[in-house]
């Protein structure tokens, strides 16, 4: 899980403003988590600005973003409001980068724009539910087991108390079974070990 909530402005201005590109002559602005407005770019996450025509182009809005993993980094894919342009922001984890930085490649192909955000905020943080994002199957089975055990004990004790007028250890449901269980387990272990020892000793001559 990556949390970018600490990165970006919330006052309607972009964190990165009019940065030059390595591929074209446009300037680019970007704000990771909050919308901003720049000229004709209204409530966007990313804007391409032409210094010659004084025009801004929406290249991604914050409510149209998806995240993908390329095997090394997470990539944020923003889509413009009209769906015609896309921005791909590669999120690079750098624990020592207290101040985030943005490298702008620009328009690599028509209507597709590429940037790289380097920040400590791009580093994974532990998920409260583990790596799968949910409770594991083993945890679910344990929860079910203990819930059923509690229901079994509560029902058994209530039945023995009110229907059989039992008291003390007689309240325990199926008392004879639980009393004999340790001996049964012991016998089972002994039997299993005896089979293992016989296999290790090999076969007799025919």
Q: Where are the domains of the chain?
A: 16-122, 137-200
Question: Tokens at residue 127, please?
Answer: 């998920």
Dihedral sign for Cα atoms in the order 60, 61, 66, 67: positive
Closest CA to 62 of 123, 133, 10: 10
Q: Domain 16-122: which CATH class?
A: mainly beta
In Å, how far are 17, 57, 112, 175 from 14, measured between CA atoms?
6, 14, 20, 71
- Give the model confidence (pLDDT) of 162-189 as tens digits: 887 878 878 788 878 778 878 888 887 7
Residue found under tokens 């998920």: 127
Considering the chain, what percentage of its residues have pLDDT values greater than 70? Answer: 89
The confidence band for 128, taking pLDDT boundaries of 50, 70 and 90, is low
Sheet holding 112-119, edge to edge: 65-69, 74-79, 86-93, 112-119, 101-109
Is residue 114 scored above 80 in pLDDT? yes
Q: Per DSSP, which regions of 15-158 are E strands?
A: 16-20, 27-30, 36-38, 41-44, 46-50, 55-58, 65-69, 74-79, 86-93, 101-109, 112-119
- The per-residue pLDDT for 84 is 94
- Give the model confidence (pLDDT) of 58-70 as tens digits: 999 999 999 998 8
Cα separation, 146 vs 149, whole angstroms: 5
Cα separation, 68 vs 80, whole angstroms: 18
């Amino acid at each position: 899980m990556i949390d970018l909530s600490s990165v970006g402005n919330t006052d309607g201005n972009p964190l990165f403003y009019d940065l030059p590109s390595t591929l074209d002559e446009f300037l680019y602005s970007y704000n990771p988590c909050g919308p901003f407005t720049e000229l004709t770019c209204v409530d966007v996450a990313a804007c391409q600005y032409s210094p010659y025509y004084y025009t801004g182009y929406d290249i991604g809005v914050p409510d149209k973003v998806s995240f993908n993993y390329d095997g090394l980094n997470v990539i944020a894919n923003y889509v413009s409001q009209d769906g015609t342009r896309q921005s791909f922001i590669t999120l690079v984890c750098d624990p020592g980068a207290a101040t985030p930085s943005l490298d702008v490649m620009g328009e690599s192909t028509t209507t597709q724009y590429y940037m790289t955000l380097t920040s400590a905020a791009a580093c994974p943080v532990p998920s409260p539910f583990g790596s799968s994002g949910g409770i594991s199957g083993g945890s679910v089975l344990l929860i079910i087991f203990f819930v059923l055990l509690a229901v079994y004990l509560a029902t058994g004790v209530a039945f023995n108390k009110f229907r059989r007028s039992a008291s003390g250890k007689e309240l325990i449901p199926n008392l004879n079974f639980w009393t004999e269980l340790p001996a049964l387990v012991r016998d089972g272990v002994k039997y299993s070990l005896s089979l293992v020892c016989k296999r290790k000793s090999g076969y007799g001559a025919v």
